[in-house]
Structure 1
């Protein structure tokens, strides 16, 4: 079988087609969530980003929807990976899985757009695009900022490294970066610069693929530190274990 035809990409992430960036990130996230979904979910590992069930829309289609209706920039997409690394380093029990990925992504892009861009959407738009209530997105945003300790930016070189890594590890091996970065690249201690995005059109509702409700309910006031699992969380975890046990028994029976 002939190897797949390679597609050459620009050396700098700012010059690559935004849909290619979406495909690269989605490919990485799909592999990561597939791996993490095999890890048993403990009650203490539940977060505000957990859904009761996996959403009925792929991460690729979800990212494309976000880009289409919010005009999210390449930097805002790539820095999502930096946020994942930050949070996983500070909260080792957090995993990006099919239950957390979608909520994490829409929150990360909403936060990064406000931090990095001159023009961005309101939370009501991000919520409509993401298929969650605006009050829920507000709660997720507060929790997200707490988890990353308000560390919202990084250097341009960090994003360039993420871009190169995504291309290098792409599962299909479709893409290859040709050439070297231009001499106009920013220095390693320079902050990122961005062009303002145009105001997007109002998106349609995400039905019928709206995300399932989260397990936790946001308390009034400022975000609180992690608390012991609630009764609802314990019930959700018990149901999760029971469903996996039935699936395992079904697989044994078929074998």
Structure 2
């Protein structure tokens, strides 16, 4: 799947559906694991599970964020990096929504020349602006400010997503679905990819519009 294919509405619809399904399964798995393994509570955690489903939430973001299609792949890269760097904060049903809105916002700020400010994303995500600001800061530190995504890395993730989206097409039983996921023993989003970036190019810092 090349970047230009993401401009196809049908491809994006399939991508949103797949990412939602992927995150749903990760969240449910980690919900079970949290009963047996101690986990940190972060600013991303809500007191209760949101009533809106992950798919409906991601569809809402896609409808109102108006960011470039590539941002959703980059947001996925960021979630993967976050999960690898923060193993004590696995993605679960209490934090997945806030991680989603934050990762898309950060990806839009890094990728797009024009983007909405934090107050707008807060409204899209159903939170207040102050909380959105805290989420952004914690997410950036959680990533170690590793925001650059090389063309090679971007294409690697696109190929992975395309392969998994094809496997997801019916008929597909649960065993096949489980075997297609490369989450590793920790059941997070770790895909065991290597960032083939010879250096972390620093993009000129833009003042965050809050």
Asked if these proteins are the same fold (TM beyond 0.5), I'd say yes
Match of 1:21, SS state, is helix
State the match for 1:21 in structure 2.
15
State which of 120, 129, 134 in structure 1 corresponds to 2:124. 129
State the match for 1:83 in structure 2.
78
Alpha-carbon displacement from aligned partner over 1:151-193 (angstroms, at most 9, x marks no partner): 1121123222222222323486329xxxxxxxxxxxx8699xx
Higher helix fraction (1 or 2): 2
User: Scaled by the length of structure 1, what TM-score is found?
Assistant: 0.60
Change (3 A) 1:52 1:43: farther
User: Scaled by the length of structure 2, what TM-score is found?
Assistant: 0.72
CA contact (8 A) 1:14 1:74 kept: no
**Which runs of 5 or more structure 2 residues have no equivalent in the other structure?**
171-195, 201-210
Alpha-carbon displacement from aligned partner over 1:58-86 (angstroms, at most 9, x marks no partner): 11111111111111222211112221222
CA distance in 2, matches of 1:174, 1:139: 38
**Which runs of 5 or more structure 1 residues have no equivalent in the other structure?**
1-10, 176-187, 192-255
Which segments of structure 1 move beyond 4 Å, counting only runs of 4 or more? Answer: 41-44, 188-191
CA distance in 2, matches of 1:35, 1:51: 18
State the match for 2:56 in structure 1.
61
Higher relative contact order (CA 8 A, sep 6+): 1
Computed over aligned residues only, the root mean square deviation of the Cα atoms, in angstroms, reads 2.4
1:1-255 alignment, distance < 5 Å: 11-16=1-6, 17-40=11-34, 44-170=39-165, 173-174=168-169
Alpha-carbon displacement from aligned partner over 1:103-127 (angstroms, at most 9, x marks no partner): 0010111111111100100111100
Number of residue equivalences: 169
CA deviation after TM superposition for structure 1 residue 88, in Å = 2.2
Change (3 A) 1:58 1:13: farther
